[in-house]
Amino acid sequence: MSKYALKPDELKKEFEQKKPRILKGDLAGKEWWDLPVEFRDGNWCFPGKPEVLEEIGLPNPRKWAATDEDWKLPAGWENTIRDGMKSRLKRFRSFKLFMDTCVRCGACADKCHFFLGTGDPKNMPVLRAELIRSVYRNDFTLLSKLLKSFSGSRTLTPEVIKEWHMYFNQCTECRRCSVFCPMGIDTAEITMMARELLNLIGVNNNWILAPVANCNRTGNHLGIEPHTFEQNIMSLVDDIEELTGVTVNPTFNRKGAEILFITPSGDVFGDPGVYTMMGYLLLFHHIGLDYTISTYASEGGNFGMFTSNEMMKKLNAKMYHEAKRLGVKWILGGECGHMWRVVHQYMETMNGPADFLEEPVSPITGTKFTNAKSTRMVHIAEFTADLIKHGKLRLDPKRNDHLRTTFHDSCNIARGMGMFDEPRYVLNKVCNVFHEMPENTIREQTFCCGSGSGLNAEEFMDMRMRGGFPRANAVSYVREKHKVDSLVTICAIDRASLPTLMRYWNPGVNVYGLHELVGNALVMEGEKKRTEDLREDPMAGFGEGADDE
């Protein structure tokens, strides 16, 4: 080392004298991490129930709450976290890279919807990552440990764990910040690692773990048993018949079908997801698709992604297992967000290669989906866009004239897959009124619904309303400017959470799945006169006495 270089003690002294002090008032002179963490009603999610943890074999099952002073962490929890970090730094190169490379430029700071909605500095992605980087530096880099104050290192304490739990559960893994990061840091992956580490010591979220346990047991997040799953869909078949006069014929667990269709279970059980399911059923009937639905691989979503890589892999495995068992050629996937991040970015390397499947080819148009060559799974929006492009659908967009639409890009589809145009193409073919929200709130810059990554818990409602504020604000803009009253999206969590967000911030705006509008617009062979949409709301200009031709 050069004789001119400062010695560590001198460097530390100089830094202490010169470093900027931004905290004022009672916190003057303190470090940023000394800002208190306070759990209150509305800003934390209930922890995993002991029986849920036991069911899926996660450690430290117990009754506790974030507001408790003592979180009943297991003996030796510090070593568990350190060993967990060590193992993950070795196994996940991205994690190691993201711990080392941030230059604190701040480009990400005001891109996070939780920071914009709460103003809490620890919700700036750079600072959220620092929550874990500060421990990483202390425990895994010698120089930083020696220059503790200079490097921003700190010791792992129960307060740090509380802070992690607070802020890594105020990140929806939407990756908007990563779009603006000049170093390419994906904060979502940092959050994923942090949540994995917290799960090692039993610090968790029941809204994530209960669906994981359900999915592990029955194949879907809602814990629907196979017979109920089928009955629900058949009940929607009855609704379709009543509304359109057409009887659609979905099949279940049918060996030898050409295509296996998998969608989030919210489409089979929840409102408004079921209307999107009706749209799929009408579409498949319209084109005479040879498909089947599995009551085992009955969930497109994967809350394992918010728990651990191992859990994500386990829950995802059923898709390929079932495709193999049924002998289908390829898989078609419904409208979902994080499902597509798992499928598009992890499935092939986690549970593939799926050599037993074929490169997807549309049986109707002959289009080869070369982009799905490795996963063998196609997104329904590109499948439908291709059908429309080839003139295979008989559509009457006037049937959606009672809706004035805008489109919410779902984070994982937009930023995780780069799919922006296909859903817009479909939407513009099935409805006549469409207006974009402002440029910096759509496509790759889309704002999250504020409830993704397993944060859609009721008890977290206040924070969800604040995190969803930037999205609601953009909808408010097109509502005032263009009288938009319908927010269309292609994500099941959006369909569950955006109605709530809209009702709070923009009353009068309803939320629709893209294929619900496709279902409205489809002119089916042998249909009766349509006067109502799939929700049984009257269509404009199609009432009694009106001529719909």
Instruction: Give the shortest CB-322-to-other proteins separation in angstroms.
Output: 22
Cis peptide before 272 (omega within 30 of 0): yes
- Choice between 202 and 452, CB closer to other proteins: 452
**Would you count residue 79 as binding other proteins (CB under 8 A)?**
no
| Contact pick of 318, 466, 515, 530 for other proteins (by CB under 8 A) | 466
H-state helical runs in 368-417: 380-389, 411-417
Query: Side-chain half-sphere of 469: how many Cα atoms within 13 Å?
Result: 14
Nearest residue (CB) to other proteins, 274 versus 395: 274
| 465 touches other proteins (CB under 8 A) | yes
Minimum distance from CB of 448 to other proteins (Å)?
Answer: 14
Q: Which of 47, 61, 117, 452 binds other proteins (CB under 8 A)?
A: 117
DSSP single-letter state for residue 41: T
When binding is defined by CB under 8 A, the residue of 53, 81, 85, 120 that contacts other proteins is: 120
Tokens at 46, concatenated: 């209930």
Q: What are phi and psi of 8, to 5 degrees?
A: -50, -40
Strands 330-333 and 259-262: parallel
Give the Cα separation of 125 and 102 in Å (integer).
Answer: 11
Q: What angle do CA 98, 316, 276 make, to 5 degrees?
A: 105
Candidates 116, 156, 347, 417; binder of other proteins (CB under 8 A) is: 116
CB of 21 to other proteins, least distance (A): 18
Of 48, 266, 304, 513, which one interacts with other proteins (CB under 8 A)?
266
Q: How far is the CB of 507 from other proteins (least distance, A)?
A: 9
Footprint (CB under 8 A) of other proteins, residues 445-464: 458-459, 461-462
Range 238-257, binding other proteins (CB under 8 A): none
**Stretch in the footprint of other proteins (CB under 8 A) among 141-149, 267-275, 356-364, 397-405:** 267-275
- Nearer CB in complex with other proteins: 308/497: 497
Give the interface size with other proteins as a residue count (CB under 8 A): 36
The residue range among 54-62, 136-144, 162-170, 269-277 that interacts with other proteins, by the rule CB under 8 A, is 269-277
Q: Is 51 in the site for other proteins (CB under 8 A)?
A: no
Length in residues, the chain: 549
Q: How far is the CB of 470 from other proteins (least distance, A)?
A: 6
CB 284 within 8 A of CB 261: yes
The residue to which tokens 């359900």 are assigned: 214
d(CA 338, CA 192): 13
Residue of 77, 95, 269, 303 interacting with other proteins (CB under 8 A): 269
Give me the least distance between CB of 488 and other proteins, in Å please: 17
Q: Would you count residue 469 as binding other proteins (CB under 8 A)?
A: yes
Coil vs helix vs strand at 331: strand
What letters, b where the CB count within 10 A reaches 16 and e where it falls short, cover 251-266? ebbbeebbbbbbbbbb
**The dihedral sign for the CA sequence 34, 39, 44, 45:** positive
334 binds other proteins (CB under 8 A): no
Residue 116 or 160 having the CB closest to other proteins: 116
Closer residue to other proteins, CB minimum distance, 118 or 445: 118
510 binds other proteins (CB under 8 A): no
150-188 burial by CB neighbour count: b if 16+ within 10 A, else e?
bbbbbebeeebbbbbbbbbbbbbbbbbbbbebeeebbbb
Integer Cα distance of 186 and 176 in angstroms: 9
Among 118, 309, 365, 445, binds other proteins (CB under 8 A): 118
User: C-alpha angle 179/180/186, rounded to 5°?
Assistant: 55
> Which 479-498 residues touch other proteins, going by CB under 8 A?
496-497
Interacting positions 145-164 with other proteins (CB under 8 A): none
505 binds other proteins (CB under 8 A): yes
Tokens 């295509």 sit at which residue? 259
445 versus 473: smaller Cβ distance to other proteins: 473
Q: How many of the other CB atoms lie within 10 Å of CB of 120?
A: 18
Candidates 53-61, 187-195, 231-239, 339-347: pick the segment binding other proteins (CB under 8 A).
Answer: 231-239
DSSP assigned state of 307: T
Using an 8 Å Cβ cutoff, are 358 and 320 in contact?
no
Residue 308 dihedral angles phi and psi, to the nearest 5°? -165, 160
Binding flag, residue 475, other proteins (CB under 8 A): no
Q: Does 504 bind other proteins (CB under 8 A)?
A: yes
Stretch that binds other proteins, among 63-71, 92-100, 266-274, 405-413 (CB under 8 A): 266-274
Integer Cα distance of 205 and 207 in angstroms: 5
Distances (CA, A) of 260 to 103, 326, 338, 361: 46, 8, 19, 13
Nearer to other proteins, 266 or 301 (CB): 266
Q: Are 316 and 347 in contact (CB under 8 A)?
A: yes
Task: Tell whether residue 336 is a contact of other proteins (CB under 8 A).
Answer: no
- 137 near 151, Cβ under 8 Å? yes
Contact predicate 379/522, CB 8 Å:
no
Tell me the window of 39-47, 74-82, 173-181, 484-492 that interacts with other proteins (CB under 8 A).
39-47
Determine if 213 is a binding residue for other proteins (CB under 8 A).
Answer: no
Residues near other proteins, by CB under 8 A: 40, 42-43, 115-120, 222, 231-232, 235, 266, 268-272, 274, 458-459, 461-462, 465-466, 469-470, 473, 496-497, 499-500, 503-505
